[in-house]
Chains A and B, each alone.
Chain A
Amino acid sequence: MKKGFIVLESGETFEGVWVGGENRAGEVVFNTSHSGFEEMATDPSYFKQILVCTASQQGNYGAHREFWESKKIHIEGFVCLEIQNTDREHTWIQTLLNQKTPILHQIDTRKLTLVLRQKGTPWGALVQAQDSEHAKKIAEDLIRKAKDVDSDWPFLVSVAKPEVRKGSMSGGLKLALIDYGVKENIIRELLPYVSEITIYPSRTSSEDVLKNNPDAIILSNGPGDPAEVKESVQTIQRCLGKKPIFGICMGHQLLALALGAKTYRLKFGHRGANHPIQDKISKSIYMTSQNHGYAVDAKTLPLDIEVTHTNLYDMTVAGIKSPKYNAMSVQFHPENSPGPRDAKYIFKYFINQIEQSRR
């Protein structure tokens, strides 16, 4: 058994068993979902993050390529109490190790979670080492290097050039999607309603987006701080009023910024599959899948912006609508994957909104 450590920037170290992978650093976040480790690990919103799963046993049902939310593992490390590793079933470990993603298990994830909750989302590193002092030294260096990247994280995970995906509705809507780190399931959910979706890089210009005269613009989810995303606010502002806009997660935060609101960093973010949302559009309350570290500040929203969705855990803004510009967005993930599908109707709702606006 090899020793491994998770070292937090704030100084705490936790010792566990090193399963494999290379030493890496990232923001350390926890997710409380019971299942869906693969969907989470491949979600580009986890870019630069070490994922701590609070559910104690992970990998039980193995890896399945069809659940991938992008083409690669995005997390910088995987931490849990116990990971499935038997001759019969170890495909999840194998999948992570194929990308050298470090895996640490047999650590007290609850204590770690309580620390993460108190400290906010600290940077940290997963390190294979002899002892914690040794680990701290290695970690310091790794964390420093890891932080030293472009703070525009969506740019780092976005497509390099536009891509077109064909939908199953021939003659149907044409959508433009600005990719800040889009989850595959957003595309999967939209394709049945449309003839095609064109996916644009995050720093795309409004001219490019509007050039093909799409019926609407989708702003995708993505990692990091919305305030650091370059060019997108301008691009969105120039599209406002010209096309219906729908944003998810990062897309929601960017829309809010474009509308003149501010965003702020949540202490430890919302990551899980059990967050209650009050939805004024459907007049209902439902469970959602969430994964974000920033939120839109309600006080800074212009008066003509409606708050359509509220997170009932902490009453933060979880959805907005601008009737003037026919733009709307949600902070959570209606495409789920993993998590409950209760909010799936929103896709259809948005499609209906577009169709109405065309008439």
Chain B
Amino acid sequence: MARDPSIKKVLILGSGPIVIGQACEFDYSGTQACKALMKEGLEVILINSNPATIMTDPEVATKVYIEPLKPQYIERIIEKEKPDALIPTLGGQTALNAALELNRLGILKKHNLRMLGTSAEIIERAEDREKFKHVLDKIGAKAPKSYLVKEFEDGLEKGKEIGLPIILRPNYTLGGSGGGIAYSLEEYKQMLQMALYESPTSEVLVEQSILGWKEYELEVMRDRDGTFVVICSIENLDPCGVHTGDSITVAPQQTLTDKEYQDMRDEAQKIVNEIGIETGGANVQFAVNPETQERVVIEMNPRVSRSSALASKATGFPIAKIAALLAVGYRLHEITNDITKSTPCCYEPALDYVVTKIPRFNFEKFSGTQDLLSTQMKSVGEVMGIGRTFKESFMKALHSMENENIGFKKVIFSEEKIAYPNSDRIHYVAQAFREGKSIEFVKELSQIDYWFLEQIKTLIDFESEILQKPLSVEVVQQAKRMGFSDRQIADIKNIKEKDVYDFRHKNGLRPGFYQVDTCAGEFHSETPYYYSTYWCDSYQMQEKTDTVVVLGSGPNRIGQGIEFDYGCVRGVKAFQKEGLRVAMINSNPETVSTDYDTSNELYFEPLTFEYVREVMNFLKPKGFVPQWGGQTSLGLTHRLVDSGFALLGSSLETIDLAEDRGRFAGVCKELGLKIPKSEMVFSLEEALKFTKINGFPVLCRPSYVLGGRRMEVIETEEDLQTYFEKYGEFINSDSPFLIDEFLDRALEVDVDLIRSNQWCIVGGIVEHIEAAGIHSGDSMGVLPPQRLKESTSDKIEKMSMDLAHKINVIGHLNLQLAVKNDEIYILEANPRSSRSVPFVAKASKVPLVDLAVKAILDKPLPQKYNWKNVSQVSVKGVVFPFNKFKNADSILGPEMKSTGESMGRGADYSEALLKAFISSHVKLPQAGEVFLSLRDKDKDLLLPLAKQFLNLGYTLSATRGTAEFLGDHDLPCVSVRKVYEGRPNCVDRIRTGKVSIVINTTSGRKAIQDSFSIRRSCIDYAIPCVTESDAAEALLMAIKKARTGEFDVQPL
């Protein structure tokens, strides 16, 4: 029994860059698994192309390879490391698909590598929809009526037989990509075509609609003896029709009888056994007809999944860790429950609280896309709220969303917004109740189960109770138990948040903190994983003066994602190394920072002032650190300091100097540093006045901005007018617009440095590949810089340090700079950890976060670092979610749109580029036609590039103007119509598969609109499309490197 002694070296595959449907939950699972296996004394070889992860920190595994998760790269690593076994079930669909591919190519067999916990057959039985249906038939489980379709014509026939609406599910795609629901025949035809294309095997399951059915998910585990446990039951508030990743979900399930639940449990067990899952975690999704109680199986994932991360956080049962231990031979009963330390892991967690997950969306970033939810996942992050009741947990989850309105958003009642699932549906449901609509009315429109609607209505009804009754202990206690925030109560009563807080504290209405203990109190447990609740007596203060509070970054969103969790986790570990205890506060269930194993104490709480303050009241910590949680935690700093808590690291004054544009400009002036000309404007007239003096192009944005929201580069007066027409409503006297001189074609760089009172060290300079104007999060980058002159680089280092000294940074400082004609301009200063920190730390090997902790604690610099002294060139690649957002434009600009990043490491720039492109899922066609549509100013610039493509054997096509230009320079080129010039045009050419690469540079609102369909067709057909001249050169360089077939793999 126990561990299999023949396994000594294990290969683990990560999940690659963050994409919609596969996010940092796999960092959580992978990190957990690596830690568990390392503790077992095994050698762990990890491959992941995502530098922003904790798991790719060198300490996490024996050897970490930041390399593409593609067979030839993995094989090279296998040859080098000779592992005994592969665990493919921890890195999401990416790892599973890679493992299948390795198997198909015979690589596993060749290198005598065992797959642990699963096999290719098992994966296929679960993932191949037809095989899965056979499994269901065999055990007597039902599936929705469906057919596997491989051809369009056959699909049409089958669709008619099933009847509308029809669900389309392409085989082997992520997060349901390419799938959806068709309500009309016309829609069905279109979607079928796309779905057939999206599926790597050109197979689509067309399926009877179970819209409106109740949806459930069971997270299960099994060991090789067949011991089977359900870790968590999850019930979706949103009925079928909305991807489970986009649904509000609740654990444990609330509305099934024990009999119904046990039927489901039995069926899940039979499925897992019949599929043949040997060991590990899996999930099974069910739908239940609310009228007839008929139950069907929707799907199963034979691996650790997004929901298993949620289930782990919801129950305290570390699924991924246990899955890893099971894979190397342990049985469930041989592993001790981490939380109780006395009971074994063969049990089912019992909850005496309720957990609610709410997804977070970024529709606003993809103009042209409708905010409509379907079976294809679109959310980019999630929050979890823990409370004793559904109401308390649901409200805490709402607060965790970090919306401007805490709790329910103010919306205007709309039947349509209740009937058609969208990111704000729950707020419209609430509004309906506010306007006196009945539960039946909302049920009829939304199909949401009565029970959930009753809960929400109770909350809304209580709003009027708060309004009507005087502020009393009873009312406030009730409100707090329902999860109302002080701010909400204050808003309803038209008083100040502080008044509610003071009233509460005067009357002893403070939250208590209860443990997530996996057993509902049945056994003693010491694990310090807490949530606050008003369903208990208030607490004893702790006075933990040796404890530092680290504030997390909340739900992932575009612009603030896993990179910030990296900082938090590293920060926690670094403080612990310095002998301090750390309490972590965060609301994001996907992260490593919310693993109870990361910090000394974990508080799963909304990152709002009230909740954070109550935790700090409880703890009385030494101080708090907001540097790693992005704008979320930085935004809390002022009020926490005002409440008497000690801010560790950069002071409020430093933060203000960096963040207040006026004061920052003053500092720069004093230091003689250039910043682009800039002005706050309150109207179009003022904006026009600015451009009269300073000319175009300009950069426009609202003054309060995150991830570059509504930020645009504007080249003409006409465009400026349109911009104000579009966004004028966001201007008011509190928040004017900012208008900046735009440094056209400047080279942009990111600098990350750490400063203490005694020392200052630059961690690295990342040179952007795209020119200024593309958001730094969307721009590819390279370290060490390839184009920056050494003298300029030195100057940048010096001025960055000067600035850090001047504003007295303690800890992190991130700067964004632009270099034009050897002049350096400062674009932005962030007195905190940044998105680039993990990439820089891994590329330059300067442990930025650890040094930040040294700085905060005023410790000496432990050793010398030189970020330029690196043997490898590192390129940051970028991953975009455009394929999930129908009708969204893929053109890049100052507003960030990417969800994730990859890292390519190589002996030279071209190798690093090649790997970064591959890891970012950009195809690099080795032959074919290159289509060009260039704006005038790029034509000369890209002429040599067009020539090189020709020399490499590619053919060229172009829109008329570009084609004429190329023709004039003796480059043979097919001239193709623009879209408005009639058909067949360039888009037809792309859509019929004649084009392999598209280079489309454009600017100006009209030109961008005109060329939209070019870029969109590239997204739909996965054709590489670059919209920027420097990116085009980088792509060519990577293609050339790819054609040599040479590459090497190197561990960190």
Give residues in A with beta carbon < 8 Å to B: 30, 32-36, 39, 54-57, 60-61, 64, 67, 81-82, 84, 86, 88-89, 108-111, 113-114, 117, 272-276, 278, 283-287, 312-313, 336-342
Partner pick for B257 among A64, A109, A111, CB 8 A cutoff: A64
Question: In whole Å, how far is A60's beta carbon from the nearest beta carbon of chain B?
Answer: 5
Binds A, one of B115-123, B178-186, B297-305, B344-352: B344-352
Partner pick for A54 among B225, B344, B352, B389, CB 8 A cutoff: B352
Chain A residues with CB under 8 Å of B344's CB are 276, 312-313
> Are B254 and A60 interface neighbours, CB within 8 A?
yes
> Are A57 and B439 interface neighbours, CB within 8 A?
no
Q: Can you identify 18 A-B contacts, CB atoms within 8 angstroms?
A: A32-B519, A35-B253, A36-B258, A55-B520, A56-B388, A57-B354, A82-B389, A113-B520, A117-B522, A273-B350, A274-B349, A276-B227, A284-B226, A285-B225, A285-B227, A285-B346, A287-B348, A341-B265
> Are B257 and A57 interface neighbours, CB within 8 A?
no
Question: In whole Å, how far is B488's beta carbon from the nearest beta carbon of chain A?
Answer: 20
> Are A110 and B536 interface neighbours, CB within 8 A?
yes
Task: Give A67 to B523 CA distance when docked, in angstroms.
Answer: 29
Chain B residues with CB under 8 Å of A286's CB are 227-228
Of chain B, the residue at the smallest CB distance from A284 is: B226
> Are A81 and B252 interface neighbours, CB within 8 A?
no
> Are A336 and B262 interface neighbours, CB within 8 A?
yes
> Are A108 and B256 interface neighbours, CB within 8 A?
no
Question: In whole Å, how far is A55's beta carbon from the nearest beta carbon of chain B?
Answer: 6
Q: Within B397-456, which residues are at the interface with A (CB < 8 Å)?
A: 439, 450-451, 454
Task: Give A61 to B257 CA distance when docked, in angstroms.
Answer: 6
Partner pick for A110 among B225, B254, B332, B521, CB 8 A cutoff: B521
Question: In whole Å, how far is B228's beta carbon from the nearest beta carbon of chain A?
Answer: 7
Chain B residues with CB under 8 Å of A88's CB are 439, 450, 454
Q: Does B867 contact A (CB under 8 A)?
A: no
> Are B535 and A276 interface neighbours, CB within 8 A?
no
- Contact count A vs B, C-beta below 8 Å: 145
> Are B520 and A54 interface neighbours, CB within 8 A?
yes
A86-B454, A117-B521 known; A110+B352 contact, CB < 8 A: yes
Partner pick for A340 among B226, B262, B450, B522, CB 8 A cutoff: B262
Task: Give A67 to B257 CA distance when docked, in angstroms.
Answer: 9
Task: Give A336 to B389 CA distance when docked, in angstroms.
Answer: 27
> Are B350 and A274 interface neighbours, CB within 8 A?
yes
> Are B352 and A113 interface neighbours, CB within 8 A?
yes
Task: Give A64 to B514 CA distance when docked, in angstroms.
Answer: 33
Question: In whole Å, how far is B218's beta carbon from the nearest beta carbon of chain A?
Answer: 12
A-side interface mostly: loop
The contact string, 1 if C-beta is below 8 Å from chain A, for chain B 324-357, is 0000000111000000000110111111111000
Chain B residues with CB under 8 Å of A39's CB are 258
Task: Give A109 to B537 CA distance when docked, in angstroms.
Answer: 11
Task: Give A61 to B290 CA distance when docked, in angstroms.
Answer: 12
A32-B522, A275-B347 known; A56+B389 contact, CB < 8 A: yes
Give residues in B with beta carbon < 8 Å to A: 225-229, 233, 252-259, 261-262, 265-266, 269, 331-333, 343-344, 346-354, 388-390, 439, 450-451, 454, 514, 519-524, 535-537
> Are B521 and A113 interface neighbours, CB within 8 A?
yes
Chain B residues with CB under 8 Å of A285's CB are 225, 227, 331-333, 346
> Are A339 and B262 interface neighbours, CB within 8 A?
yes
A110-B536, A113-B352 known; A34+B252 contact, CB < 8 A: yes
> Are B254 and A57 interface neighbours, CB within 8 A?
yes
Of chain B, the residue at the smallest CB distance from A112 is: B521
Chain B residues with CB under 8 Å of A110's CB are 352, 388, 514, 520-521, 535-536
> Are A339 and B258 interface neighbours, CB within 8 A?
yes
Chain B residues with CB under 8 Å of A64's CB are 257
Chain A residues with CB under 8 Å of B252's CB are 34, 55
Chain A residues with CB under 8 Å of B454's CB are 86, 88-89
> Are A35 and B261 interface neighbours, CB within 8 A?
yes
Partner pick for A338 among B258, B332, B389, B524, CB 8 A cutoff: B258
Chain A residues with CB under 8 Å of B523's CB are 117, 313
> Are B333 and A278 interface neighbours, CB within 8 A?
yes
Chain B residues with CB under 8 Å of A272's CB are 350, 520, 522
Name the 9 nearest CB pairs between A and B, nearest first: A36-B258, A32-B350, A338-B258, A54-B520, A274-B348, A113-B521, A35-B258, A54-B352, A285-B227
> Are A81 and B262 interface neighbours, CB within 8 A?
no
Chain B residues with CB under 8 Å of A284's CB are 225-227
Chain A residues with CB under 8 Å of B535's CB are 81, 108, 110
Of chain A, the residue at the smallest CB distance from B352 is: A54
Chain A residues with CB under 8 Å of B227's CB are 276, 284-286
Chain A residues with CB under 8 Å of B259's CB are 67
Chain B residues with CB under 8 Å of A342's CB are 228, 269
Of chain A, the residue at the smallest CB distance from B515 is: A110
Task: Give A67 to B258 CA distance when docked, in angstroms.
Answer: 9
Partner pick for A55 among B348, B350, B536, CB 8 A cutoff: B350
Beyond A32-B521, A88-B454, list 10 extra A-B contacts (CB 8 Å): A32-B522, A33-B258, A60-B254, A61-B256, A110-B514, A113-B520, A117-B522, A274-B347, A286-B228, A287-B347
> Are A57 and B332 interface neighbours, CB within 8 A?
no
Task: Give A340 to B220 CA distance when docked, in angstroms.
Answer: 14
A32-B350, A56-B388 known; A341+B522 contact, CB < 8 A: no
Of chain B, the residue at the smallest CB distance from A115 is: B521
Chain A residues with CB under 8 Å of B226's CB are 284
A32-B522, A274-B348 known; A81+B255 contact, CB < 8 A: no
> Are A81 and B388 interface neighbours, CB within 8 A?
yes
Of chain B, the residue at the smallest CB distance from A36 is: B258
Question: In whole Å, how far is B185's beta carbon from the nearest beta carbon of chain A?
Answer: 39
> Are A34 and B343 interface neighbours, CB within 8 A?
no
Of chain B, the residue at the smallest CB distance from A82 is: B389
Chain A residues with CB under 8 Å of B536's CB are 108, 110-111
Task: Give A238 to B253 CA distance when docked, in angstroms.
Answer: 48
> Are A276 and B333 interface neighbours, CB within 8 A?
yes
Chain A residues with CB under 8 Å of B266's CB are 341
> Are A340 and B265 interface neighbours, CB within 8 A?
yes
Chain A residues with CB under 8 Å of B514's CB are 110
Q: Which of B261, B389, B523 neighbours the largest number of chain A CB atoms within 10 Å of its CB?
A: B261
Of chain A, the residue at the smallest CB distance from B346 is: A276
Chain B residues with CB under 8 Å of A275's CB are 347
Q: Which of B252, B346, B520 neighbours the largest number of chain A CB atoms within 10 Å of its CB?
A: B520
Task: Give A14 to B439 CA distance when docked, in angstroms.
Answer: 34
Task: Give A286 to B222 CA distance when docked, in angstroms.
Answer: 11
Question: In whole Å, how far is B714's beta carbon from the nearest beta carbon of chain A?
Answer: 54
A81-B535, A340-B265 known; A312+B346 contact, CB < 8 A: yes
> Are B347 and A35 interface neighbours, CB within 8 A?
no
Question: In whole Å, how far is A69's beta carbon from the nearest beta carbon of chain B?
Answer: 11
Chain B residues with CB under 8 Å of A111's CB are 536-537
Task: Give A117 to B524 CA distance when docked, in angstroms.
Answer: 9
Question: In whole Å, how far is A184's beta carbon from the nearest beta carbon of chain B?
Answer: 13
Task: Give A336 to B353 CA distance when docked, in angstroms.
Answer: 24
Task: Give A35 to B269 CA distance when docked, in angstroms.
Answer: 19
Of chain B, the residue at the smallest CB distance from A337 is: B258
Chain B residues with CB under 8 Å of A108's CB are 535-537
Chain A residues with CB under 8 Å of B262's CB are 336, 338-341
> Are A54 and B333 interface neighbours, CB within 8 A?
no
Of chain A, the residue at the smallest CB distance from B350 is: A32
A32-B520, A276-B333, A339-B258 known; A313+B347 contact, CB < 8 A: yes
Q: Which of A84, A276, A337 neighbours the largest number of chain B CB atoms within 10 Å of its CB?
A: A276
Partner pick for A56 among B261, B269, B333, B352, CB 8 A cutoff: B352
Task: Give A114 to B524 CA distance when docked, in angstroms.
Answer: 9
Task: Give A284 to B265 CA distance when docked, in angstroms.
Answer: 18
Chain A residues with CB under 8 Å of B349's CB are 274
Question: In whole Å, how far is B1025's beta carbon from the nearest beta carbon of chain A?
Answer: 50
Q: Which of A86, A114, A283, A338 neighbours the largest number of chain B CB atoms within 10 Å of its CB?
A: A86
Question: In whole Å, how far is B267's beta carbon from the nearest beta carbon of chain A?
Answer: 11
Task: Give A89 to B449 CA distance when docked, in angstroms.
Answer: 13
Task: Give A36 to B537 CA distance when docked, in angstroms.
Answer: 28
A54-B521, A110-B536 known; A60+B255 contact, CB < 8 A: yes
